[in-house]
């Protein structure tokens, strides 16, 4: 287990990188790109995803443009520390679905000389900060905000608008349930929906 075998400070320089944005913005594609480059550099890379995310694959991280990389599904953030062995780089996809313990896990890994690359939605379907992502952005050395294209006007999209009627915070889906919208189009849509009620 990582906690039992790791020193308080390894002397190696670790850090946290967060790639955040709306759905369809290329977060997972960027995560895969960074992890593949680490593999090309012959670094030991371990990759994790939440077990609940089975949209494309149970054991792979898959981007919307069908790029894939092998990953280990875990039920909670503590499992990462139970599984990890001797990694130089750790990747975490869909971090918004993890418990708040993921913040301490990422800090611990970085403090022990590991480069941690995390990808996730920064806001939920209602436009509110999503899970541990805002805290991860605050403690990270590097933050990359990526954007989709608004499906209404073509501007940069910042919101993941849910088109289904579900009000559940976690609703797995793709283009069948979500569309990226810019701030202006999102506000117009929300105001129109509220006027109808």
Residue 80: which CATH number? 3.40.50.300
Active site residue 82: no
- The verdict on residue 129 lying in a domain is yes
For the segment 11-60, what is each residue's pLDDT rounded down to a tens digit?
A: 678 999 999 999 999 999 999 999 999 999 999 999 999 998 766 667 77
- The verdict on residue 169 lying in a domain is no
- The verdict on residue 197 lying in a domain is no
- Find the domain containing 143 and state its range: 2-147
For the segment 158-170, what is each residue's pLDDT rounded down to a tens digit?
A: 999 887 666 665 6
- The verdict on residue 143 lying in a domain is yes
For the segment 90-105, what is each residue's pLDDT rounded down to a tens digit?
A: 999 999 999 999 999 9
Report the mean per-residue pLDDT for the chain.
Answer: 87
> What sign has the CA pseudo-torsion 27, 33, 36, 38?
negative
Q: What's the number of domains the chain is made of?
A: 1
Q: What does each C-alpha distance from 166 to 36, 106, 173, 177 come to in angstroms?
A: 36, 31, 11, 9
- The verdict on residue 108 lying in a domain is yes
Task: Please state the pTM of the whole predicted model.
Answer: 0.86
Q: What is the mean pLDDT of residues 141-169?
A: 87
- The verdict on residue 177 lying in a domain is no
- Residue 141 pLDDT > 60, yes or no? yes
User: Which of the following is catalytic: 29, 46, 94, 179?
Assistant: 94
The confidence band for 5, taking pLDDT boundaries of 50, 70 and 90, is very low
- The verdict on residue 166 lying in a domain is no
- The verdict on residue 31 lying in a domain is yes
Q: What values do phi and psi take at 147, rounded to 5?
A: -130, 150
- Give the other-Cβ count within 10 Å of 97's Cβ: 20
Cβ 116 vs Cβ 110: under 8 Å: yes
């Amino acid at each position: 287990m990582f906690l039992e075998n790791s020193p308080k400070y390894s002397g190696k320089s670790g850090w946290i990188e967060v790639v955040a944005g709306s759905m369809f913005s290329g977060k997972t594609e960027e995560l895969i790109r960074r992890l593949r480059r680490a593999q090309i550099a012959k670094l030991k890379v371990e990759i994790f995803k939440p077990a609940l995310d089975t949209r494309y694959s149970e054991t792979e991280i898959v981007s919307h443009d069908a790029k894939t990389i092998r990953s280990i599904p875990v039920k909670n953030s503590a499992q990462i520390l139970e599984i990890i062995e001797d990694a130089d780089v750790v990747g975490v996809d869909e971090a918004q679905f993890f418990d708040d313990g993921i913040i301490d896990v990422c800090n611990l890994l970085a403090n022990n000389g590991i480069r941690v690359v995390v990808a996730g939605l920064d806001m939920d379907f209602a436009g509110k900060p999503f899970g541990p992502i805002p805290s991860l952005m605050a403690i990270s050395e590097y933050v990359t905000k990526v954007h989709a294209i608004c499906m209404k006007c073509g501007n940069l999209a910042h919101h993941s608008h849910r088109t289904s009627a579900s009000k559940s915070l976690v609703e797995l889906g793709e283009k069948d349930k979500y569309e990226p919208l810019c701030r202006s189009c999102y506000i117009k849509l929300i105001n129109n929906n509220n006027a109808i009620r």
